[in-house]
Amino acid sequence: MRKLIVVAVVGLLAQLVDGALGMGYGVTSSSLLVAVAALTPAAASASVHLSEMGTNIASGISHWRLKNVDWRVVARIALPGAIGSFIGATVLSNLSTEAAEPVMCGILLALGVYIFIRFLIGIKPRLRGNPGLKLLAPLGLFAGFVDATGGGGWGPVATPALLTDGRMEPRKVIGSIDTAEFVVSAAASLGFIIALGSQGIHWGLALALLIGGVIAAPIAAYLVRIAPAHLLGIAVAGIILLTNSRTLMKSADVDSGTRWIVYIGLFVVTVAGLVFVIARNRRNKDDSADRPVETVSA
């Protein structure tokens, strides 16, 4: 019962992150499930993807009602994403726990670095049309594969890629990627069920994650209005880096002294990133306030 409560809290926190950033549910959930709940990589990823099917439906409906979905993009990226996630689930399920854990944590660690850099830099997209199949098909295939093998990664890979590409409004990027993720999560779940069998799935943990996510959904909708996305992105990246570096170093039998040096270093880097982003935001506000207002003479 205690583990279910912990997992429900993990789901709640992960949904708060995802609702505020448009990414991070899978990466955050999987990182904490492996580190806190001591699940195997395959079990963690399977639990996350099963719970995501429910949260994706709610998210997709909300985005559709707000007209944040480009269905052409959803159609072009969802199928390749489903293929990639099914293959990724099969690959992860057939790896031994000893081999899968460092692989999964390595992927999550790389995604954490990517998220940190992205929100530290603060990329501003330039709108110039709609992305085509040549971009969306390979992007979906790769993001789906990373999502299943890493326990998360669909949003962190696909969303920044389309935002950086600059052919869509940010709200439609997030809405379309979130909506397409239902198909990706369903394909990954099918792959895990076929490879692991129904007995290899932690149904109770998946339900606990889902409950936590559903509770957090309305809170996340409010949080996204009041919390700066860049601050949340840096903080989440720091959590991902700390939890996965811990697992990787323990699997590599790194001595405790070295581990603590790494932990302190990552903590300092995260705090420095937060300070930098806060200073940049204040500087931008001051520049906007000092800018003269143009008046139109009658």
pLDDT tens for 263-294 read 999 999 999 999 998 888 888 777 666 665 55
pLDDT of residue 124: 58
89 Cβ partners below 8 Å, 6+ apart?
45, 46, 49, 148, 149, 187, 188, 189, 190, 191, 192, 195
Asked whether the predicted pLDDT for residue 127 surpasses 80, the reply is no
Contact 168, 160 (CB under 8 A): no
**Average pLDDT rounded to a whole number, residues 178-198:** 88
**Average pLDDT rounded to a whole number, residues 211-230:** 71
**Average pLDDT rounded to a whole number, residues 253-267:** 92
Q: How far is CA 292 from CA 171, 175, 289, in A?
A: 30, 36, 8
Among 185-189, 227-231, 249-253, the least confident range: 227-231
pLDDT of residue 68: 83
pLDDT of residue 184: 94
Highest mean pLDDT among 91-100, 118-127, 129-138, 216-225: 129-138
Mean predicted lDDT score pLDDT of the chain: 81
pLDDT of residue 77: 96
pLDDT of residue 298: 44
**Average pLDDT rounded to a whole number, residues 218-237:** 70
In the chain, % of residues over pLDDT 70? 84
**Average pLDDT rounded to a whole number, residues 5-22:** 77
Which sign does the torsion angle of CA 129, 133, 139, 145 carry? positive
CA distance linking residue 37 with residue 56, whole number of Å: 23
Q: How many CB atoms lie within 10 A of CB 246?
A: 19
Q: How far is CA 291 from CA 122, 287, 297, in A?
A: 21, 6, 19
Among 94-98, 218-222, 291-295, the least confident range: 291-295
Asked whether the predicted pLDDT for residue 80 surpasses 90, the reply is yes
pLDDT of residue 265: 96
